[in-house]
Amino acid sequence: MTKQAATKIECKIDGAEVHYLPDYLAAKHGITVEEYLERFPDAPVESETLQEQYVASVKNVRRAPPPAREHLTIKFAEHTMPVNWDVPPEACLPLPPCYRLPENGKLASDVKRAGRYFLAGRSFWAWGPPGSGKDAFPSALCALTRTPSQIFPVNPDVDIMAWFFDKSFNSEGTEWVFGELFNALVKGYVSPISGRTIPMTVVLSDFDRAGRAQAEAIRLVADSIQGRVKGPRGETYPVLPGTRIVITANTMGAGDASGKCISANVLDTSILDRIERKVKFHSMDWKDEEPIIRAKFPLFAERCGHFLKKVGDATAVLRGAVEDESLYGEFSHRGLCTWIGDCEDILRFSTNPPSDLLKQGFQSYADGLPNAESQTLALTLVEAYLKGGALPHGDTSHVQDEELELPL
């Protein structure tokens, strides 16, 4: 055995031997080094051979200074995005757990296009089926580029006008107080580090849930693309140049055509026309989704990761049935997490996993379908991929004899 091979380090999740774990963890398991070290403190992440090679390569080498903080950038969806060095993380939407930028299939193209809209400072409407990452995308992008941002979920009970302005009562009488959306659009974000004013990105989530009166109130937001917002007395205020408005929805303003999103309303086309760009998000490709499932459900990945090929095949069949409307329901990423999450619960609380583990976990999803016909069809569709049980006969190397320790 050569010295180079001997100094490889072992991945504690699947036993693979590599020289550099960070890239392997991101590609294979969809997790960061920090998340890995939380599970396996003090575990090495690069081999001694690689460290020696690096030391030798930089010896007596003159390195260029790092870029100025004003010129920090990241690569996102094939675009070079500027990073605001003077915006703290708490001023931005959070990075979704286990987020992975799609690199395959239709969703990769959708995200690349949406990334171009963001880079150009355009306001855009992102719509598509549940679980396709419409809200996760702007949240991740704002977090990674340190873009000050806020999200405003729309539902029929929300008083949208209060986001712009409302009356306040005090000992001296009443006064108008500007709301969070008004301040985000007009005042932007003032950095506590540099003192400069930075345009904000505003996300209006589930906008197709807005009623007619709410949509008319939101016309103010659409008008803000043209640079003005009305105040409580009819006065107008200029919107801070560079402000982005991202609207997410399940539909494109024509209401519910499938019978599965009945709270989606028909929207005035004159409002829709004011949104500069539109993009439809599709379901995630399995090549991108599998690493996320591995990261979200590490116990299942560790003990039953060899079943994920079957899960991926079943997922494709279910989503095809949803798309051609033979299955009345959705099988989004959330539905997949329901399935595999229940499988992981079974593993966590069982000394010996059942031979039909995948079938038992799938029942948690199937029981959520709206009628018996849909439930039976879903079970029939996946039966061909789960036939013979979830655990391979004759292979018990992954089964632990001792009782598992229950998590605190």
Q: What is the pLDDT of residue 298?
A: 93
For the chain, domain boundaries: 3-58, 70-280, 286-386
Nearest Cα residue to 240 out of 182, 191, 295, 285: 182
Strands 124-127 and 244-249: parallel
Tokens of 168: 């306040």
What's the Rg (C-alpha) of the chain? 25
Q: Which token pair is 339?
A: 């399935």
The distance from CA 50 to its chain's CA centroid, rounded to whole angstroms, is 33
Cα angle 112-114-118, degrees, rounded to a multiple of 5? 115
Backbone phi, then psi, for 280, in 5-degree steps?
-95, 125
**CA pair distance 218, 181, nearest whole angstrom:** 11
Cα–Cα distance between 266 and 402 in angstroms, integer?
58
Domain 70-280 carries which CATH code? Answer: 3.40.50.300
- Strands 9-10, 17-18: pairing is antiparallel
Task: Please give the Cα distance from 190 to 148 (Å, whole number).
Answer: 9
* C-beta atoms surrounding 155 within 10 Å: 12
Quick one: CA torsion of 294, 298, 299, 302, rounded to 10 degrees? Answer: 60
Given this model, what pLDDT does residue 258 score? 64
pLDDT score for 347: 93
> Phi, psi at residue 218, to the nearest 5°?
-70, -15
Q: Residue 147: which region, alpha, beta or left (left: phi > 0; alpha: psi -120 to 50)?
A: beta
Q: What is the mean pLDDT of each run of 10 residues along the chain (408 residues)?
A: 61 88 86 89 85 72 73 92 96 92 94 96 91 93 96 85 81 82 94 95 89 76 70 84 92 71 74 89 94 93 91 94 89 94 93 87 93 92 69 44 43
Residue-level pLDDT at 394: 43
Q: What pLDDT is stored for residue 216 in this prediction? A: 78
Among residues 154, 176, 188, 165, the alpha carbon closest in space to that of 271 is found at 154
Task: Please report how many Cα atoms fall inside a 13 Å half-sphere around the Cα of residue 53, on the Cβ side.
Answer: 10
For 327, other C-beta atoms within 10 Å of its C-beta total 21
